[in-house]
Structure 1
Amino acid sequence: MKTGNLDDTQPVVVNPVDRLDPGDRVGSTIGGRYRLLRVLGQGGMGTVYEAEHVSLAKRLAVKTMRPGMAADPHQASRFMREAQALALLHHPHIVEVFDFGSADGELFLVMELLPGRPLSAWLAALPTSPPIALVASLLDQALDAIEMAHRSGIIHRDLKPDNLFLSDAPGGLRLTLVDFGLAHVDEAIDRVGKLTSTGMIAGTPLYMSPEQCRSLSVSPSSDLYSLGCILTEMLQGTPPFDATSSAELMAQHMF
């Protein structure tokens, strides 16, 4: 029996990786050299694993994109953009990338494995606002990382507490900037200091700059505005604006 225009005699081909729960992949190897050890986190686009290089016994973080997402040119381009952006940047407060590849239709990105937790989780666990001196130290580290990215012609476009990772280090907390999936990469900043417009809205509404909300071209100031929103949250416990919808939030940033 046939239904609609589908020929029942033709099998539907589904990539086996798409059917796996992320936890089921623990113990398997990707790219022929990275053994997946445990799930660190997952989202709509894919999963981040703690992994080990099978020859070097080095612990790393491997970010994978689901094959179904990788088949979408826009999503694959976004994943590639993150790899390219990180490959241009070498800074103590920016996560380091080691490898990028494709295996069985699945894109993967290999990065430095960071101990600790994101700023969002750290803030949520505090009974009160952090000391001003500590806030100043974290802000200084974030500014160092952002300045390096901007000098390289890269605008992050998605600065938020989830993308600032905190680790214990000698002398205090170390901040590392992660997730360049929405980064705008250009070879050079033009004469007026702005990068080519993306023509699309990109970012997280709680922390987006007015120009991002309006889908205008971004500049280094866009990241600084987002960092200002994060600073406000660190000092008062909440972001500068709150609303029941993304549209309302963006309107508050714009007006």
Structure 2
Amino acid sequence: MDDYAGRVLADRYRLPLDASAEEGAGPAAAGRAFDTYSGQEVRLQRIPLPDIVEGELPGEGPAPGTGDPSGDPLVRRALDAARAAAQVPDHPRLDQVFDVFAEGDALWIVSEYVPGRTLGSLLAERPLNPYRAAEVAADVLTALRALHAGGWVHRNITEHTVLLAEDGRVVLAGLAAGAAQEALCGYDPVPPRSAVEDGAGPEGPRPRGVIDASPYGGGWGSGTGATGQGRPGGPAAAGSGGFTNTGPGAVPPSPRPGGAV
């Protein structure tokens, strides 16, 4: 996000001049911004949009609509998916999304700023002790239960979407970003309306690749985990994110992008 340092997006969100405190890695990093309307700090995440090649005849200008990313049908689907994810009822273990918009070469997601750090930044320094790892996993599972009750599947749990607040809370972020990324890849991440109304859970019966969000399901945090200890003879995961599922309840990876919870 260095290219956007100091800029004001959507005539509202001012990015800092120093973008060195970004969260995560790669193009979908998140950082802090200032909301000039509310006077509060927010968390701003950039989702790169695919390059669109416009047809152009010799002697003619670009095709109509060039330069406006929100006019592309694929981008509109991504915006709709992210905004649908932002409508998930508030929960103390889920981050709150305030705004979603497209500007420049990216889709931007504005969410609450949680003072603290990501799990990934902590694991880069040291592994969690077993007790703290269990606390983090339990809070993530609580967040997943709330999502599954509304028919949503997260599919974007990484060490960068698990936020460790200064007050000890664990907040799961990344639902809206994951929904936008899936929509850009041609998938429909939004649950059917019937699943949301009935509270039947994600996609009815648990599909292939979905990890059981229960303390005994062998899901997130089992096997080689955030403690960096792993199973005897298995690889240690200290500093690697600690999300390898090698426990007795392990399931094959999901054929869809992202995670499976």
Is residue 25 of structure 1 aligned with residue 25 of structure 2?
no
Judged with a 3 Å threshold, the aligned counterparts in structure 2 of structure 1 residues 108 and 43 are, in CA distance, closer, same or farther, namely same
Corresponding letter in the other structure for 1:35: R
The Cα of 1:119 is off from its aligned counterpart by: 1.8
Contact map agreement 1:91 1:148 (CA 8 A) in 2: yes
CA distance in 2, matches of 1:223, 1:32: 43
Unaligned runs of 5+ in 2: 52-68, 180-188, 236-243, 254-261
Is residue 51 of structure 1 aligned with residue 33 of structure 2?
yes
Contact map agreement 2:141 2:214 (CA 8 A) in 1: no
Q: In the alignment, which of 178, 183, 190 is matched to residue 185 of structure 1?
A: 190
**Which residues in structure 2 correspond to 1:41-120 (within 5 Å)?**
41=23, 45-68=27-50, 77-78=77-78, 80-104=80-104, 106-120=106-120
2:55 aligned partner: none
The Cα of 1:60 is off from its aligned counterpart by: 0.7
Q: Percent identity?
A: 22
Judged with a 3 Å threshold, the aligned counterparts in structure 2 of structure 1 residues 103 and 125 are, in CA distance, closer, same or farther, namely closer
Q: In the alignment, which of 165, 168, 173 is matched to residue 166 of structure 2?
A: 168
Would you identify which runs of 4 or more consecutive aligned residues in structure 1 move more than 6 Å? 222-227, 239-242, 249-252
The Cα of 1:177 is off from its aligned counterpart by: 0.5
Secondary structure, in 3 states, of the residue corresponding to 2:108?
strand
CA distance in 2, matches of 1:239, 1:78: 39
Contact map agreement 1:63 1:108 (CA 8 A) in 2: yes
The number of residues matched between the two structures is: 206
Q: Which has the higher strand share?
A: 1
Unaligned runs of 5+ in 1: 1-21, 198-208, 213-217, 243-248
CA distance in 2, matches of 1:79, 1:226: 33
TM-score, normalised with respect to structure 2: 0.62
Describe the superposition over 1:206-241 as per-residue Cα deviations: whole angstroms up to 9, x where unpaired: xxx9923xxxxx5x7379899724243034534897
TM-score, normalised with respect to structure 1: 0.63
The Cα of 1:120 is off from its aligned counterpart by: 2.9
Describe the superposition over 1:143-173 as per-residue Cα deviations: whole angstroms up to 9, x where unpaired: 221111111111112323332111220xxx2
